[in-house]
């Protein structure tokens, strides 16, 4: 089986075990790995952890496409062998260490990394560790369930270690579209005009001389677990679909704009909402991560094309996807993050972006990353790429969290990732506010009335009214009490007095 | 003279006085005017003010390209005849009324407006009032010193009133490059690959049947006043040039990336810095507003191409520009704001963006618009378009303002326009911090040490150290005292205790 997948014969000699392979990775190395929620290597991280546990002094910098699974971020964080980690992660243990600065982390817009790596700004690409489906006749690499930044990492790496995955069927080949743009000042347009456009090659170009090891792997990605959407998610989804439908009918929004939707249950619910809907047909999804709902929509005949950088599926959906791959492959394109998240393409296509907030404030500023201003959750990911450049940007959040102890609508967000200028529409299960033609004061009135939970409405209204009277201005704020909700939460565990 | 400039003969019958012309504008009208720091109409605003002063009940919505001069924003604001005003303004009287919500204002990213107007999202384009240099043989319009959003306003307007300017020489014709992209989902790439590329027409397409009036005008734009750059501006400029030179020499930044620089003295000083410099040649400027320094650089033979949406010149520079127009025209292109500020083009060209902050915080979040969180200064303008999509983004500010009463480096900015993810380099006259490969904690240490003024360094360091110990986290903050600098300023007029 392994030889079938290594179609470039000279590389068959490079097959070895993970102990030998990992010997190319030394203390202090810059490790650039494949992976964007899926498609990350599993054997080398485990072997590095083994070495550390056996007493070796080992710290490496880990650069991926975005988050990976327990088999990378979880075990490496716990073993204490990660120095820098970029960009985005969602592992509980790693998060703790980042918040203690025991792992160094900087939060990046995902679309901006590959050119920085190519410029050398992130230091030498010592070793790329890449999960692949197959090696072509010329030594090029077929990715697995994600593309992420891997094409750039492979191109720039001094040494390449390959984990040949046996977990995906060979028919996955052909789903990817790999295109690395020329860097400025000599870049030409990225020639994507429609969601379905293929502009590159189905493989990542690779110089086989740099491949130092190939491992046979049977490990699977840790699968996503999606909950059935709850009432809150369904209400949010319903309002977004109603709003867009209304704007299209009024002639203010053209029909047929592609959708992006962030990661998680609410995002999945928004796409799920299309299943019950009669208005939207021939959907284009120009997104980052494709989740279970995309397969459902394809099955219903609702999708014209779905483009992303990764597929994150539940165990059940994964089986279904592999079983009828021939059918799904006609609809799905997986691209490098630099392309899936390209401001150029997002603006050109006129994407409708739906992303999730940790909290939003009465003026529409949004926090996606830091709890009470200080504690990092996961990172900004691609939300900035989409919110800032889309034709219409939605930010969604439940009105409350933790059984009411937290209001997700606050006087001022404790950290800003997306400014009011980049956020068009705020949605909670309570209501939706289109901020595009409102002054900040009008936004505040509407967000408090429509989006906030009734339990917090009076508190917010009282704050706003006093700010208006005592301070006034274009965006009235009382700076000496603007974080009273948050400080109460920190002191008493509840934002309510 | 007037007939020479109205080359489409049937329109010569439309010449009338401003009383007649302004009769097309009624109470409640949406007025879409030309103008982006320059090139705004002068006669119609005056006439509307006359009518209001004579007792007529008159309120109009005024939509321009960006700021205009005293002859529009100043007199109309004082006369109380402006209902909505978008986007960006810099007039003192208008600012006061906006901060009292007596004029409605929403702060927009400049690149995003024209498609919203075309979609009808801003309501009907009742009347466009446009300053032009000439009308072509087919009835199309040649702009004057700015393009702004005028091509879209002219295309969408039900009625068009033209102010034919006699203040600029006819040879200005040919400097403009007018291109309105198709709107999503049918947009194709904006075909600009180099700063100098011309992709459109030298005129704004106009349906002459919609022209209801033509006025002869001799009014000039109120000219910009540039101060000789002070030591602070020079030190900021010097550091930016040194930094870029160093990055280019290290091979981390390609040579020849185009520059954008915001409006004002510091921006002018950055460009002025090139005059004394031996390293930078064949400069490309892909900017928004072209100021005096651009002419100096052209005179020195340092400029390959300068692209913008407007020219804002001092009286002296304006004379010089008109005198040797034939020479300057070879180097300068004026484009619609949608193109000068296009995320697609900015990312493709790899622009180096330099914009001014009101204040920056220790983690690199930036406030460009609101003093003490509430009081609007001018607006975000195009700074978000450039900071977010550039290859490298600088945010500059003096370390102190008001003779030391205000520190421009604060624990947390009181309003966020540009998040830390979009700001690469912070510069004051004291020092420069490249945040791209630093964690937020490392950024804080460096910004406090290098960028803050010594008078505030201990205060900031004390805050940061206590936040670190008491709260920790990825971005340590003490929310109950994070605005102590600002509240002290509001109470005592000084941020120092």
| Chain B residues lying within 8 Å of A254, measured CB to CB | 119, 183-185
What gap in Å lies between CA A341 and CA A382, rounded to an integer? 7
User: Which residue has 């043989």 as its token pair?
Assistant: B137
Residues of chain B with pLDDT under 50: none
Q: What is the pLDDT of residue B208?
A: 97
Residue to test with chain A: of B85, B479, B486, B492, most A Cβ within 10 A = B479
User: Which residue has 């060209």 as its token pair?
Assistant: B349
Residues counted in chain B: 497
> Regarding beta strands B60-63 and B30-33, do their DSSP bridges make them parallel or antiparallel, or are they unpaired?
parallel
Q: What is the pLDDT of residue A344?
A: 95
Residue A361 touches partner B, C-beta closer than 8 Å? no
What gap in Å lies between CA A257 and CA B93, rounded to an integer? 41
What gap in Å lies between CA B54 and CA B65, rounded to an integer? 29
Q: What is the pLDDT of residue A55?
A: 97
Average pLDDT over residues A11-21: 97
Residue A276's contacts (CB-CB under 8 Å, 6 or more residues apart) are none
Taking CB atoms and an 8 Å limit, are B370 and A421 in contact across chains? no
Give the C-alpha distances (Å, rounded to integers) separating B484 from A491, B399, B454, B487: 19, 18, 18, 5
| Active-site pick, A131, A168, A288, A387 | A288
Q: For residue A256, what pLDDT band results from cuts at 50, 70 and 90?
A: very high
Q: Are A440 and A423 in contact (CB under 8 A)?
A: no
Mark which residues 451-470 of A lie under 8 Å from B by CB. 467
Give the H or E element holding residue B237: helix B231-249
Residue to test with chain B: of A114, A184, A189, most B Cβ within 10 A = A184
Q: Are A105 and B474 in contact (CB under 8 A)?
A: yes
Taking CB atoms and an 8 Å limit, are A419 and B421 in contact across chains? no
What gap in Å lies between CA A56 and CA A48, rounded to an integer? 9
3-class SS of residue A225:
coil
Q: What is the pLDDT of residue A275?
A: 86
Taking CB atoms and an 8 Å limit, are A475 and B372 in contact across chains? no
What gap in Å lies between CA B179 and CA B181, rounded to an integer? 6
User: Which residue has 């000279």 as its token pair?
Assistant: A10
Alpha helical stretches, state H, A100-203: 113-119, 150-156
Q: Are A282 and A256 in contact (CB under 8 A)?
A: yes
Residue A244's contacts (CB-CB under 8 Å, 6 or more residues apart) are A253, A352, A392
Rg, Å, chain B Cα set: 23
Residue B330 annotated in active site: no
Interchain CB contacts (distance < 8 Å): A and B: 233
Average pLDDT over residues A427-453: 98
Residue B483 touches partner A, C-beta closer than 8 Å? yes
Residue A438 touches partner B, C-beta closer than 8 Å? yes
DSSP summary character for residue B493: S
**Out of A106, A384, A483, closest to residue B479 by CB:** A483
Torsion on CA atoms A194, A195, A201, A206, rounded to nearest 10: 130
Taking CB atoms and an 8 Å limit, are A370 and B437 in contact across chains? no
What gap in Å lies between CA B389 and CA B288, rounded to an integer? 14
Residue A86 touches partner B, C-beta closer than 8 Å? no
Q: For residue A272, what pLDDT band results from cuts at 50, 70 and 90?
A: confident
Taking CB atoms and an 8 Å limit, are B479 and A486 in contact across chains? yes
The angle at the Cα of B108, spanning A184 to B285, to the nearest 5 degrees, equals 30
Q: What is the pLDDT of residue B267?
A: 78
Q: What is the pLDDT of residue B278?
A: 86
Mark which residues 198-217 of A lie under 8 Å from B by CB. none
Average pLDDT over residues A380-398: 93
Here the ipTM equals 0.96
Backbone conformation region of residue B306, classed left if phi is above 0, alpha if psi is from -120 to 50, else beta: beta
Q: Are A405 and A485 in contact (CB under 8 A)?
A: no
Q: What is the pLDDT of residue B104?
A: 98
Taking CB atoms and an 8 Å limit, are B100 and A472 in contact across chains? yes
Tell me if the pTM is above 0.90: yes
**Out of A183, A472, A474, closest to residue B370 by CB:** A474
Residue B490, preceding bond cis, omega within 30 degrees? no
Q: What is the pLDDT of residue B225?
A: 75
**What are the b/e assignments for A65-94, b being 16+ CB within 10 Å?**
bbbbbebbbbbbbbbebbbbbbbbbbbebb
Neighbour tally for A129: CB within 10 Å: 33
Residue B3 touches partner A, C-beta closer than 8 Å? no
Backbone angles phi, psi at A142, to 5 degrees: -100, 120
Backbone conformation region of residue A165, classed left if phi is above 0, alpha if psi is from -120 to 50, else beta: beta
pLDDT digits (tens, 9 = 90+) for A162-209: 999 999 999 999 999 999 999 999 999 999 999 999 999 999 999 999
Residue to test with chain B: of A373, A435, A468, A492, most B Cβ within 10 A = A373
Nearest to A47 by CA among A13, A83, A21: A21
DSSP summary character for residue B170: G
**Out of A108, A184, A412, closest to residue B391 by CB:** A184
Taking CB atoms and an 8 Å limit, are A467 and B374 in contact across chains? yes
pLDDT digits (tens, 9 = 90+) for A318-340: 999 999 999 999 999 999 999 99
| Active-site pick, B168, B219, B238, B288 | B288
Residue A184 touches partner B, C-beta closer than 8 Å? yes
Neighbour tally for B53: CB within 10 Å: 12
């Amino acid at each position: 089986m392994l030889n079938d997948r290594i179609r470039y014969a000279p590389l068959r000699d490079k097959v070895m075990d993970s102990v030998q392979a990992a010997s190319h990775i030394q203390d202090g190395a810059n490790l650039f790995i494949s992976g964007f929620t899926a498609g990350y290597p599993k054997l080398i991280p485990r072997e590095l952890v083994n070495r550390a546990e056996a007493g070796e002094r080992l710290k490496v910098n880990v650069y991926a496409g975005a988050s990976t699974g327990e088999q990378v971020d979880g075990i490496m964080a716990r073993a204490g062998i990660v120095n820098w980690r970029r960009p985005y992660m969602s592992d509980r243990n790693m998060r703790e260490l980042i918040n203690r600065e025991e792992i160094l982390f900087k939060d990046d817009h995902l679309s901006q990394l590959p050119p920085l790596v190519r410029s050398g700004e992130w230091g030498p690409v010592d070793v790329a560790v890449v999960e692949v489906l197959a090696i072509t006749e010329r030594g090029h690499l077929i990715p697995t369930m994600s593309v992420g930044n891997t094409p750039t990492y492979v191109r720039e790496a001094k040494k390449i270690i390959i984990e040949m995955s046996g977990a995906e069927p060979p028919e996955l080949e052909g789903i990817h579209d790999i295109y690395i743009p020329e860097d400025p000042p000599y870049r030409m347009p990225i020639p994507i005009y429609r969601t379905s456009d293929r502009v590159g090659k189905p493989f990542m170009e690779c110089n086989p001389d740099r491949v130092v090891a190939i491992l046979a792997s049977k490990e699977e990605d840790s699968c996503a677990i999606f909950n059935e959407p709850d009432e809150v998610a369904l209400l949010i989804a319903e309002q977004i679909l109603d709003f867009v439908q209304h704007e299209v009918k009024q002639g203010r929004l053209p029909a047929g704009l592609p959708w992006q939707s962030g990661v998680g249950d609410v995002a999945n619910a928004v796409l799920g909402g299309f299943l019950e809907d009669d208005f939207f047909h021939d959907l284009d999804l120009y997104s980052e991560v494709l989740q279970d709902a995309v397969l459902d929509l394809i099955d219903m005949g609702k999708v014209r094309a779905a483009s992303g950088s990764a597929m994150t599926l539940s165990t059940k959906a994964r089986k279904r996807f592999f079983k009828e791959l021939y059918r799904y492959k006609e609809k799905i394109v997986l691209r490098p993050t630099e392309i899936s998240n390209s401001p150029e393409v997002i603006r050109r296509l006129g994407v409708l972006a739906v992303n999730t907030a940790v909290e939003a404030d009465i003026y529409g500023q949004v926090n996606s990353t830091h709890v009470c201003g200080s504690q990092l959750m996961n990172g900004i990911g691609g939300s900035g790429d989409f919110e800032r450049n889309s034709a219409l940007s939605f930010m969604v959040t439940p009105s409350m969290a933790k059984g009411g102890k937290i209001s997700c609508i606050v006087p001022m967000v404790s950290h800003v990732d997306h400014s009011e200028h980049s956020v068009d529409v705020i949605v909670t299960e309570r209501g939706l506010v289109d901020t595009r033609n409102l002054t900040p004061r009008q936004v505040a009135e509407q967000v408090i009335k429509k989006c906030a939970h009734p339990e917090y409405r009076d508190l917010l209204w009282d704050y706003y009214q006093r700010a208006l009277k005592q301070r006034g201005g274009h965006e009235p704020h009382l700076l000496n009490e603007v974080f009273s909700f948050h400080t109460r939460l920190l002191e008493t565990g509840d934002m309510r007095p």
